[in-house]
Structure 1
């Protein structure tokens, strides 16, 4: 073997890379310790409540520990995310395909110096429409994949939804509003003529999402700086924040349509095209008696075929309120993560935090439960583009980075909502 060729990694070495580091392990242990303290304090609060004599000191203690749990969980998620981020570039990322390497080199030259001749030649050869006048140049495939991976890790709805990549501007999905007539019949029995299925279609247009990171020319001139990784890191937070808001509550005008933007109706009157909701029975709160019942009703509002892959979506503050609830046997409904990087659970189903979900209030739809893989569709149009702008913010160089993304509900029976109303 050529001594300059790195030896292949053993399976154990590869697995070790994904084990939690000491920082993650320590943070997780602190989280579990805080949760035990929270249960003790909350048990004391509930005991005082039964005796009609709540101590303000006890209540304050519960709220402080509750907030500490949220902070510690956010720290664990951040550490796990950093540990999972693969580095771009370097000897480990050399692409054997000559065209891909050529694209990468041409893109690097464009970002660092503004020299676009290489990209123009490549995109002309590929008959691409992505020329400078159309809003920039397409980033290398590995950079686009890395941006997608980072968005999945940061965007809670994208992480649990169905994601499709398309090459056109709109993804159209047909569905049957009524199916063909079917039934049982004897071997020699008369067969009535069956009705034809009635088809309709859902359309998911891809809207433009942009970010504009800035860099100094000194940074761009530094050969040690990995341009691909720098760009992915700079745009990930901006893209994730905008996506997260749109997938939850976007109005569909110039952005994806969030699942909370669709018409809602009481579950007993559910029809296709609307999302069903279950009421808590108390305006802006859980009911005083049996507060866990609405959550159980929400879970069982979902059909069994969806429920087996169900998960909860709520904000951090709503999760803090749910964390205090117990079942009729005195067991907490909310359970902490079983390991770093895994979500907590509620009634045995994973809980995903989405800060864009509304806080608990009168008539609010603050908790969603469903099979989001079947219920919500995220559409990515292939290609992330970058336009270099060295003029608008001298001495900084701006990089107008765009991607096209759409989204919307694809199965209205797969997502149910909890409404804090009578």
Structure 2
């Protein structure tokens, strides 16, 4: 699939780090004829703001992504108070050195025509601030393409510049290549036969590209075998087949139904068995001095933390008849695995403390605890004090996490003025709140009891990170359970998680 660059609109940034622009304008094709239709964007509520599509350079977040008659309007904020790179990017934008926006997405539905493509549906993954637009007069850049596992890097810019120039170059009519009529008729005849064959009852559909891979994967689930060239085999386990991107994406979405921490944490992908995260453990020691006073030397200290990817595995049995006859065999397997994996993940993300599982935030000893003041009864004053014990940067982006029993108790609590701490959601898709901040229910959080810690509050986007190493791979075993009329599916995935900023959280401890 060809990747293309387009330059479109305007980018501005304020002193506080707010950033606005048009990530993609509607109404006209790009230089190679591609058009993104209005309504094609999935419009997520928020996306990471990267610099030059580098996942290691997260410089902010896009808070508002909306389609207007003009195009895809975006508004976000550079994390200038917390990220040095964000402050540098703000300075470059204000100086005019950087003025481009670039979108990274996966095409879901597109129609090809003589001049290019009309893209009808896409999944938007990220929006980057970039430095070098394709056209000297352009100020916004958009990266287009369907690369399955990563966004498009800026290295394609010059290559596509040349492609665009070639597309604009006109060839004289008398220089056009001559068409071999006999060969063309032979090809058309062959296509007619293939079409007739595919239209017969029971004949397999003729598909290409991503559809071919998905069809082969479904056939693999049904029979345990399929064309090897249409499937991707896991590199670290023999005979395990990687689920196609579309299937893996649906699996991750299903996981979120059973693993709510994924919806609030910082979730990333990795190709490594472990991730090393350097962090600063000390600061410089600046001091006020006179005009000729001696200066004090200082040196910041650094340490590193490691998040290792862990493996979770299971198997599920379906009847041979269901596997052979059901048109929904993929959905059945997908949902069964997502529920099992999701429940196990959710437990580990909260309480994981064993060597074989991801590290849970409640098991992290570096997160400070705030005393409730009573061993059995929740105190409204303690909740308020816990919330404001966090720095404003984390508090203003914080989320409450607790189980349903604790949430039911909080719904009855009032502050000193008689106002309920809990407030319902007044808009579809928006969470309920406690003291103005959203609350997520996690069944694996502890109950209210003496010496327990039933509530945690903090900025999960900054403080807790999840790394997906392997979304899903499956081994279909049609033999071991065949005597019972069953097909067994062995499935596994690899994921790592851990607290990266303990200071972004506070726990509530039920102690007097």
TM-score by length of 1: 0.68
1:381 to 453, 458, 469: 469
Show the counterpart of 1:211. Answer: 314
Higher strand proportion (structure 1 or 2) = 2
2:355 to 241, 244, 253: 253
Contact 2:231 / 2:242 at 8 angstroms: preserved in 1? no
SS in 2 for 1:256: coil
In structure 1, C-alpha distance between the alignment counterparts of 2:477 and 2:212, rounded to whole Å = 23
1:367-406 to 2 correspondences below 5 Å: 367-393=455-481, 394-406=484-496
Higher helix proportion (structure 1 or 2) = 1
1:303-318 to 2 correspondences below 5 Å: 303-318=391-406
Output one character per residue of 1:230-285: Cα deviation in whole Å (capped at 9) or x when no partner.
3322212111111111011111421011111122xxxxxxxxxx111111111122
Output one character per residue of 1:375-395: Cα deviation in whole Å (capped at 9) or x when no partner.
111111034110112234331
Unaligned runs of 5+ in 2: 1-35, 44-107, 112-119, 123-144, 148-207
Question: Could you say if the C-alpha distance between residues 372 and 96 of structure 1 is closer, same or farther in structure 2, counting changes exceeding 3 Å?
Answer: closer
Output one character per residue of 1:41-100: Cα deviation in whole Å (capped at 9) or x when no partner.
xxxxxxxxxxxxxxxxxxxxxxxxxxxxxxxxxxxxxxxxxxxxxxx99x9999999553
Contact 2:386 / 2:508 at 8 angstroms: preserved in 1? yes
SS in 2 for 1:259: coil
In structure 2, C-alpha distance between the alignment counterparts of 1:167 and 1:413, rounded to whole Å = 28
- Work out whether 1:336 is the aligned partner of 2:424: yes
In structure 1, C-alpha distance between the alignment counterparts of 2:328 and 2:295, rounded to whole Å = 69
Unaligned runs of 5+ in 1: 1-7, 16-87, 264-273
In structure 1, C-alpha distance between the alignment counterparts of 2:375 and 2:241, rounded to whole Å = 52
SS in 2 for 1:339: coil
Show the counterpart of 1:178. Answer: 282
- Work out whether 1:346 is the aligned partner of 2:346: no
- Work out whether 1:104 is the aligned partner of 2:194: no
Larger RCO, structure (CA 8 Å, separation 6 or more): 1
Q: Mean alpha-carbon deviation: is it higher for 382-391 or for 357-366? A: 382-391
Q: Which has the larger radius of gyration?
A: 2
1:214-233 to 2 correspondences below 5 Å: 214-222=317-325, 225-233=327-335
Show the counterpart of 1:169. Answer: 273
Deviation at 1:339, TM superposition (A): 3.0
Question: Could you say if the C-alpha distance between residues 296 and 396 of structure 1 is closer, same or farther in structure 2, counting changes exceeding 3 Å?
Answer: same
Show the counterpart of 1:73. Answer: none
TM-score by length of 2: 0.57
Report how many residues are paired.
320
